[in-house]
Structure formats: structure tokens, C-alpha cells
Amino acid sequence: MYDVIIIGAGPGGIFSAYELLKEKPEAKIAIFETGGPLEKRKCPIDGEKIKSCIHCKTCAIMNGFGGAGAFSDGKYNITNEFGGDLFNYVGHKQAIELMEYVDQINCEYGGSQTKLYVNTHTEIAKKCLQHNLHLLKANVRHLGTDINYIVLGNLYDILKEKVDFYFYTPVDTVEKTENGYEVVCQNQERYQGHRCIISTGRSGSKWMESVCSNLGIKTESNRVDIGVRVELAADTFSELTDSLYESKIVYRSKKYQDLVRTFCMNPHGVVVNENTNGIVTVNGHSYEDPAKYTNNTNFALLVSNHFTEPFSQSNQYGESIARLSNMLGGGVIVQRFGDLIRGQRSTPSRIASGFVKPTLKATPGDLSLVIPKRQLDDIIEMIYALDEVCPSTASDDTLLYGVEVKFYNMQVQVDKRLETCHKGLYVIGDCSGVTHSLSHASASGVYVAREIAKEL
């Protein structure tokens, strides 16, 4: 019988355990994780013998200690303007304080030499506004994939001495008992705890739906973001990235009035594959170490899709588009912007002759056969708008990788304490629908840990 059972060893679960042990060192805590410990998380793709996803039983990129964010570029955005709605539950001031506290811990455990970018560049914001682009404000701590890995390793070294970790132990069901909760694992082993924190991230979205259904927890689901990952010469965006590093820019398309946004900007970074529920999509990484810099910058352009009744399968909609890309390209498709505009597919020779050299081995193809016309029109329109601020964004050689999909977990009904209708059952991080970022997910873990500590 544990005091607290945590499902998921991503940022929410890690910071829940960290803060619980800080507040209540005697607490008995267990963490259940589908993937493995940090040092055993190795993707088999090496670019030579194995060039594409082989659909491992457990995806080392998406699952394991550190969650999907372990191999991200380690950007912690300290802001209420994007990344989640935690402020709706804890208040604007406390949300920022929680994120700043997480930043302090990251610095303490290995990130102290990394840079905190402060978004106060009014000239860039004004230049964006002149072209109907809106620059969102945020302070950004960029750990980089390399330093992020070090920070997570140091946190694990602290936690493993006091927390029972169950790696490679997927949880099938969560059941309410007289004394709390029982988790039933795929190996049929059962464990009990007085309280339970669920923090399974975006990759646990389908599983989370089943948990809510079994326990009668109300949910809402109506959003998915669909788009491409743009890769261009680093110099093209240097004015923004040198000053802000992560520039979150929102654009309202003239044709459809849809919101399009930049997401996960990686100066001098690399484009990578991502596997979500067996579907291969695209993402981006960057490093703090200059020795690992590339000549390119990449970022996502995402179109927000909000659906209304009677349609309620937003994630399935996004999955179907990603599956189509996998069907046509055997994985991720890459296309030159110039080829897209001229209505022709990219070929290996056209990609090779371009001035922007791809950092991901993807299949040259035609994204207009995959992405719906409305979303593609929105993306093209925003690329031309960005070209006004950062000339050569709309170059023929700019590369577009597809599909990038951001799945949003359904909004789980929780109260101000992030507690469900069942006393002692909390849902935090991206699986709750409340957060969509490393910083907000980590902050939600700290917040719930403090709430539980008051009762222990």
C-alpha cells in the first residue's frame, strides 16, 4: 500500500514525486512507466542499417523516464499566453510562480549555465504586427536536448533512492477501492495506493479515455492541430532566434480566418521522426552545445482545428491524415516550398539540388495529396506573411515536412486542485488537457504534490 501512486514518469510525474519527497520525505511513492529508465532509451534508427521507424514494442522516443520531452529540445516557456490553461485552475500569479520554481530546480540539477531568453523585443513585435503576425510574450529557458538529458539524469539519481520505479510496466486499468486506488498492470500484477496521480502525457490519450469511461469522469474533446515542419537556412530567422530563441507567432488567415501558429522553434536544430500510437509524424530538436549545431533552423506551422457537435473524434481526424502520409511516403514526406506552389511533387534530385539540405531522411513527395486544402492554404498564406518579416522564408528551397500533428487529450473534468470527481484521484500534465508544454506539465505536478502533502 503506497501513499501515492503515480502513473507516468514524464515531467508531471517527475515533479510530483520530487515535490512530495521534499514536503514529506517519509512518503511511500511508486511510479509506473510504460517505457524504460533514461539510460536505456535508445531509438534503433541509425540512418544506415535502420533508416525508418520499425515500430518497437515500446517507443524509446515517446516513453520512458522523462516522457516524450526527454529528447525534445528542452524549452521551458514561462508564460500564461500559451502552453496550457493551468492559470484557470491556480490563478495567473501562482502559475508563473510554479513555472519559475520548476526553472530553479532545472538550473539546480544541471541547467544553470543555460540561457534564459527574455521576450522584451518591441521592435520585432511591431514588425510582426505590421504584417498581421502576433508575437506572444514569454521567457524561455533553453536547456537543449543535451542539457535536458543531464538534468533528467540528475533528478532520476535523487528519486530512485526513495521512489519505487516500475519500468516497462504499462497500467491497464485504475480501479477505485475502499482505501484508495488499485492499478492493474498488463502483467496482471496489482498495486494499491491511498492516492493516485495520472500523468501519462499525450501518448497516453487513448488509454486516458478508457480510464475516464470506466470511472465515470466527464471529458470534452474537440481540438487537434495539423501542419508541417518548416526547415530553412538558420540565417533566415536569425533576427528572431538570436534575440528570442523561441518566437511564438500567431496569424489569422485572410481566406478562412483560421488561426495558424509557429511552434517548437529549433535554431541550428534537426528534424526528427516521432511515433505516436504507431503513427510516424515529424518533430524537431536542438542542442545547447554549439558543436552539435546545424546550418538550419526548423519550426512547426500548425493550424488549429476546433470541432463542434456532433463530431467528437478530433484526434482520430488527425491520425487519419498522418496515416495517409505514412501510406504514401512510408513515413514522413518532405517537399520543397517551390514544388508545392507549382503543383509538382518533390523528387530526390530536386531535394538534393536545393540550397537547404534536409536534416531528416524523409520521402520526397507531394503534401497536397495528404493535407486538406483548407489547412494547406492557411500554411502557404502564413509562409508568405513570415517572408515579409524574415525574407527568404518563402524561398523555393524551404523544406516542408509532413505531417506534424499535435494531439490534444480530451479535457478531463477536474476541480481547482486538479482532482477528479473521485477523492484522491488527480489528473495532471498533458493527459489532462489542462497543459500542453513541459513547463506547464511540470508546474502542475508541483502544484498537486503540494496539495497532497497538506493531507499526508
Instruction: Pull the grid cell for residue 330.
Output: 512510408
Smallest CA-to-CA distance from 282 within 332, 349, 346, 343 is with: 332
Find all residues with CB under 8 Å of 357, minimum gap 6, and list them: 295, 296
Question: Do 121 and 7 form a contact (C-beta atoms < 8 A)?
Answer: no
**Using CA atoms, how far apart are residues 177 and 105, in angstroms rounded to an integer?**
35
**Using CA atoms, how far apart are residues 403 and 227, in angstroms rounded to an integer?**
6
CATH placement of domain 2-116+139-219+412-455 = 3.50.50.60
Residue 31 has φ and ψ, to the nearest 5°, of -120, 125
The whole-number pLDDT of residue 222 equals: 65
Find all residues with CB under 8 Å of 391, minimum gap 6, and list them: 236
pTM to 2 decimal places: 0.80
Smallest CA-to-CA distance from 270 within 47, 119, 10 is with: 47
The whole-number pLDDT of residue 120 equals: 67
The residues spanned by each domain of the chain are 2-116+139-219+412-455, 223-407
Secondary structure (3-state) at 313: coil
Residue 68: which H helix or E strand, with range? none
Smallest CA-to-CA distance from 14 within 52, 67, 51, 50 is with: 67
User: Over its length of 456 residues, how does the chain's per-residue pLDDT go in tens digits?
Assistant: 999 999 999 999 999 999 999 999 999 999 999 999 999 998 887 667 786 778 888 888 889 999 988 877 788 999 998 889 999 999 999 999 999 999 999 999 999 999 898 876 788 899 999 999 999 888 889 898 899 999 999 999 999 999 999 999 999 999 999 999 999 999 999 999 999 999 999 778 779 989 999 999 998 876 889 999 999 999 999 999 888 888 889 999 999 999 999 988 999 999 998 887 778 899 998 888 889 999 999 999 999 988 877 887 887 898 899 999 999 988 899 999 999 999 999 999 999 999 999 999 999 999 999 999 999 999 999 999 999 999 999 999 999 999 998 877 788 999 999 999 999 999 999 999 899 899 999 999 999 999 999 998
**Using CA atoms, how far apart are residues 204 and 189, in angstroms rounded to an integer?**
20
Question: Do 197 and 6 form a contact (C-beta atoms < 8 A)?
Answer: yes
